[in-house]
Structure 1
């Protein structure tokens, strides 16, 4: 059964049709209500209000070009905020190590050991030695990659050969560089959102289940009629803006989850 939902879209109030809350969006995932946070209906209503279903080419690229994207994505990751990764990237960019594809890890380490300015605060970058080794190795081997004319998943497979690059980082680079909807970036925000709406379960682990979880998210995006890249960004922003609320809900609904 379909229902009408009134939403502010652009400068008007528009009515859209949406299935009832108890209908299945896909096996194991109910639509829910658009006024209940983190349900599929909620995410779709947010996308409609932002007119994301009309989204064309990428508007989420952090940097331009494969080398820049790879460096930026390697500088991000677990325990590193987007703001810290951005500040670290800018520090590396200013010294020229990215442009010249520096292969000496000690050079990267010296840059990453310097305090970084984030909104007027001096912040230390996390894991400078480890990330420096990964960055230097990536710069040494990136010219060996043959990414021209290959599909997104084949490009990701090649990136996975680089030290320190796992499925999330490789997918992040491929999504941004190739404007790909064939991969998904399963970061902690998207995983938490998936747990809250029933897309993922407590037994899922990205370390061993990345591809099956990715496939579910891609089906989820298709069922909502949204580009995976657009939905990914929407969820990432929405979960960050929600503060501690996702964690509070997870502690009740999924107390044993590693994402709680």
Structure 2
């Protein structure tokens, strides 16, 4: 057995995990919780960020606004750029006073440079996403969110232009803090391949539902909420530098043993690893919700 101790707000919490050699899933060992990217690491990091209360992942106030934000923040758009683009579109939507914007109007909004961290940035997919978004805003009129389960809502959203299972799952997770779907972006895929929860070379474009099922099985085996694991994995993997990731993921048979987070005897900490693996704060829903 291994025990994780977390000091939060002056109180201590304790988590007992099976030993490193025990299996969390058939053929997959827990590993040591202090080893970066091991199953025990992800379970313990997620446990530390989850106090059992309801988590607010929402970025906006309505399904329509969430679709805009997640579609514009999808594949190839850094989170900060996607949020800036969606803020501009939402402002225009509010000024117009209706739920629709034309493709031409959306394209004009997205072609104009955005300001991100004090500097001008161009949105790379202005024409393509404007076309998708115009169609999605019209298609949303036919979706009755209140009468759909999480998976049914995800499936309905997948019928909208430009929205695949990852973006649809992101919308559902944000709206409902759902643990029934998973946002399988490149960061989650890479972390799960490293643990061998996913096979090497996994392609979510072809096998999304199968991979999602494996991810949810992993979360269930670790007794942690899928929505929290997804957010913690995304933030942690995104925060790591390429050199650190290469040293862990691209090294054969390495599950973090080559780079321990902390040596308990003398309290020595490797600064780069510690900085990179500070888990996302449960009190920061905007960044957590932007995990897509």
Shift of 1:173: 1.1
Name which structure has the greater RCO, CA cutoff 8 Å, separation 6+: 2
Secondary structure at 1:60 match in 2:
coil
Secondary structure at 2:145 match in 1:
coil
Within 2, Cα distance between the matches of 1:5 and 1:123?
43
Is 2:180 the counterpart of 1:173? no
**Where does residue 60 of structure 1 map in the other structure?**
57
Shift of 1:144: 1.2
**Where does residue 162 of structure 2 map in the other structure?**
164
Within 1, Cα distance between the matches of 2:141 and 2:24?
43
Is 2:260 the counterpart of 1:246? no
- Closer/same/farther in 2, CA of residues 139 and 10 from structure 1, 3 Å limit: same
CA contact (8 A) 1:38 1:196 kept: yes
Q: Deviations over 1:108-152 (max 9, x none)?
A: 000001111111011001110000000000111110122322211
Within 1, Cα distance between the matches of 2:116 and 2:184?
26
Shift of 1:13: 4.9
Within 1, Cα distance between the matches of 2:19 and 2:37?
16
Within 2, Cα distance between the matches of 1:31 and 1:141?
44
CA contact (8 A) 2:33 2:44 kept: yes
2:204 to 200, 203, 206: 206
Is 2:13 the counterpart of 1:27? no
2:186 to 167, 188, 201: 188
Shift of 1:210: 0.4
**Where does residue 88 of structure 2 map in the other structure?**
91
Q: Deviations over 1:150-202 (max 9, x none)?
A: 21111111111111110001111111223321111101111111111111112
**Where does residue 124 of structure 2 map in the other structure?**
126
CA contact (8 A) 1:33 1:42 kept: yes
Secondary structure at 1:55 match in 2:
coil
Within 1, Cα distance between the matches of 2:131 and 2:252?
39
Within 2, Cα distance between the matches of 1:106 and 1:173?
25
- Closer/same/farther in 2, CA of residues 16 and 178 from structure 1, 3 Å limit: closer
Secondary structure at 1:35 match in 2:
coil
Secondary structure at 1:96 match in 2:
helix
Within 2, Cα distance between the matches of 1:91 and 1:18?
46
**Where does residue 46 of structure 1 map in the other structure?**
45
**Where does residue 11 of structure 1 map in the other structure?**
10
TM-score normalised by the chain length of structure 1: 0.90
Secondary structure at 2:147 match in 1:
coil
**Where does residue 237 of structure 1 map in the other structure?**
235
RMSD across aligned C-alpha pairs, in angstroms? 1.9
Is 2:234 the counterpart of 1:224? no
- How many equivalent pairs are there? 251
CA contact (8 A) 2:103 2:131 kept: yes
- Closer/same/farther in 2, CA of residues 193 and 118 from structure 1, 3 Å limit: same
Q: Unmatched 5+ residue regions in structure 2?
A: 254-292
Within 2, Cα distance between the matches of 1:32 and 1:176?
31
Q: Unmatched 5+ residue regions in structure 1?
A: 255-260
